[in-house]
Amino acid sequence: MVLQKAPAAASIWGYSSNIGDVILVKLINTQEIQQEQGIVRMGPEAKGVWSVLLPPNEAGGPYSINISNSFGNMITINDVLFGDVWICSGQSNMQFTLPMAFNSSAEIAESSYYPDIRLFTVAMEAAHEPQYDFISVEQPWSVASPRSVGNGNWTYFSAVCWLYGKYLYQKLNYPVGLVASDWGGTAIETWSSPDALKRCGISEMPKTSDVPWPTAYSVLWNAMMHPFLNSTIYGVIWYQGEANAGNPLGYNCSFPAMIGDWRLKFSESNPQTSGSFPFGFVQLAANRNDPSISTGYPGIRWSQTTGYGTVPNPRQKNVFMAVAMDLPDYTSPFYSVHPRDKETVASRLALSGLAVAYGKTEKYQGPFPSHVVFSRHSNQLSLTYDMGQADLLIKSQNGFEFCCSLSLAVCDLPSLTSWYAVTAMTSTSTTVTLEIPKSCNNKTVQIVRYAWRESPCPYKQCAVYSVINELPGPPFKISLT
């Protein structure tokens, strides 16, 4: 396994029927023995529990851990490394396994070169009360190998989780522990505690339906996330939102509420886990090959950034993301909702994670408008990107639209009748200038937006990218009134 490295102290805990017994934990390597004691106390569900914090250890290993009680019983765990521990959660695009992805044969074969990456997969279980241990485990801690990384379709291991960890390891050059806890088709409410839902005024608990995934609120938080709370972790990555596409405005509250609640509960249970641990997510990818769909996914993408368009932002501090809207895969044998290019998804996410979670000064996100000049006289709108520090790569003129109407409320209707595509556009290395469509004459120009479609462009051919790393500019909408 991998335990969290210094400066945090890794937590180890377990169970015993002997209340008051002394548990001795020894961490052993070739240079020294570290020793800590814990007392068995009455814990949740009337079980005897004990826990210890190991002294902070720098990245590396291997270590052995001997755990013994006063009756002479001993458990030994071998080949333990210290590094950074990341939890990977969400629905089917996180559950999507490496053999299903593009370039899977090469990726699976290459996994044997990364024995310092260790993997753990939680089994899909639901519970109506918080669990203090996992109901079952699909994949116990395993050294990265073709067998542990590429077991099969929808089993283990998560493609995005593995690739994210691999790209981190290539830069950090020390052990990484990856924990996959995911379930396809599940909504954010199933992963949220009652406390998080209450913050958004969500109180009803629908009964689980007969579909192959749980729908009752909090049941995955209870069974597949709550048991982690004693652990010391570094951060979380998340790929979810498709199941909430019917209520994008609700996601604007439930997503940041869940992030804040996870951070609070992890740090309260084990203060060695930061109460502001880094949290990364994948902004929803393209889905159906239908250019008329402007509801659902676009709203979720906007809500994933809590209406700011980019992260980190004032509502989402220490949060990072990967844009994936330009990665359609309409011929995917796993349906178009599951694009197979997880290498691009994970590389973009790792680039953002290295910048936000590790302070690496790299260009980690695509261009985003920082200044807008709207001239009714010239009938033009100029967008300056990244405070004039952008280095734009323009691949097309598609994706920009204006809402022109006497009423702002019309712009939020599902109909596209008040939206007009931009037909004339010029650009420099830092700006994009849009000509107001003639269809807007005698109407009020209310909003400009970009890439506001479920599937806004062909593969890697949206309009705006950065020259460095070819990162796509995320979708946005800006009010002009």
Interval 337-359 mean pLDDT: 98
If asked whether residues 173 and 301 sit together in one domain, one would say: yes
If asked whether residues 138 and 194 sit together in one domain, one would say: yes
| CA neighbor of 477 nearest in space, from 413, 400, 424 | 400
- Asked, for residue 259, whether it belongs to a domain, the answer is yes
Judge whether 234 and 240 are in contact, CB under 8 Å: no
If asked whether residues 346 and 416 sit together in one domain, one would say: no
Residue 277 tokens, joined: 């641990």
> To 5 degrees, how large is the angle CA 212–CA 217–CA 220?
65
Residues 6+ apart with CB under 8 A from 198: none
Asked whether the predicted pLDDT for residue 414 surpasses 90, the reply is no
If asked whether residues 198 and 119 sit together in one domain, one would say: yes
Distance CA 23, CA 415 (A): 66
Q: What is the Cα 53 distance to its own chain's centre? A: 28
If asked whether residues 258 and 402 sit together in one domain, one would say: no
Domain end position, chosen among 305, 326, 356: 356
What pLDDT is attached to residue 209?
62
- Asked, for residue 17, whether it belongs to a domain, the answer is no
- Asked, for residue 102, whether it belongs to a domain, the answer is yes
Q: What are the pLDDT digits (tens) for 82-139?
A: 999 999 999 999 999 999 999 999 999 999 999 999 999 999 999 999 999 999 999 9
* Element containing residue 63 per DSSP (H, E): strand 60-68
- Asked, for residue 35, whether it belongs to a domain, the answer is no
If asked whether residues 441 and 339 sit together in one domain, one would say: no
Res. 212 pLDDT band, cuts 50 70 90: confident
Judge whether 391 and 466 are in contact, CB under 8 Å: yes
Alpha carbon separation from 260 to 101, 229, 253, 354 (Å, rounded): 32, 14, 11, 21
If asked whether residues 262 and 402 sit together in one domain, one would say: no
If asked whether residues 245 and 269 sit together in one domain, one would say: yes
* Element containing residue 170 per DSSP (H, E): helix 159-172
Asked whether the predicted pLDDT for residue 375 surpasses 90, the reply is no
- Asked, for residue 29, whether it belongs to a domain, the answer is no
Res. 324 pLDDT band, cuts 50 70 90: very high
- Asked, for residue 76, whether it belongs to a domain, the answer is no
Name the domain count of the chain: 2
- Asked, for residue 57, whether it belongs to a domain, the answer is no
Domain end position, chosen among 314, 333, 356: 356
If asked whether residues 129 and 261 sit together in one domain, one would say: yes
Domain end position, chosen among 328, 356, 384: 356
Residue 299 tokens, joined: 């709203």
| Domain around 352 | 81-356
Asked whether the predicted pLDDT for residue 210 surpasses 70, the reply is no
Interval 192-216 mean pLDDT: 84
Asked whether the predicted pLDDT for residue 407 surpasses 90, the reply is no
Pick left, alpha or beta for residue 118 (phi over 0 → left; psi -120 to 50 → alpha; otherwise beta). beta
The span from the first CA to the last CA of the chain, in angstroms, equals 56
**Least confident segment among 57-61, 208-212, 366-370, 445-449:** 208-212
Asked whether the predicted pLDDT for residue 413 surpasses 90, the reply is no
- Asked, for residue 50, whether it belongs to a domain, the answer is no
Among positive and negative, which fits the CA dihedral 54, 46, 181, 106?
positive
If asked whether residues 302 and 397 sit together in one domain, one would say: no
Residue matched to tokens 């804040």: 260
Distance CA 191, CA 189 (A): 5
Judge whether 452 and 298 are in contact, CB under 8 Å: yes
If asked whether residues 420 and 311 sit together in one domain, one would say: no
Pairing between strand 380-385 and 369-375? antiparallel
Q: Which amino acid is at 380?
A: Q
Residue 196 tokens, joined: 């998080």
CATH classification of the domain holding 187: 3.40.50.1110
Q: What are the pLDDT digits (tens) for 244-269?
A: 999 999 999 999 999 999 999 999 99
What pLDDT is attached to residue 208?
65
Residue 343 tokens, joined: 């290498």
Res. 172 pLDDT band, cuts 50 70 90: very high
CB crowding 48-81: b at 16 or more within 10 Å, else e: bbbbbbbeebebebebebbbebeeeeeeeeeebb
* DSSP 8-class letter at 129: S
Share of the chain above pLDDT 70, in %: 99
If asked whether residues 216 and 344 sit together in one domain, one would say: yes
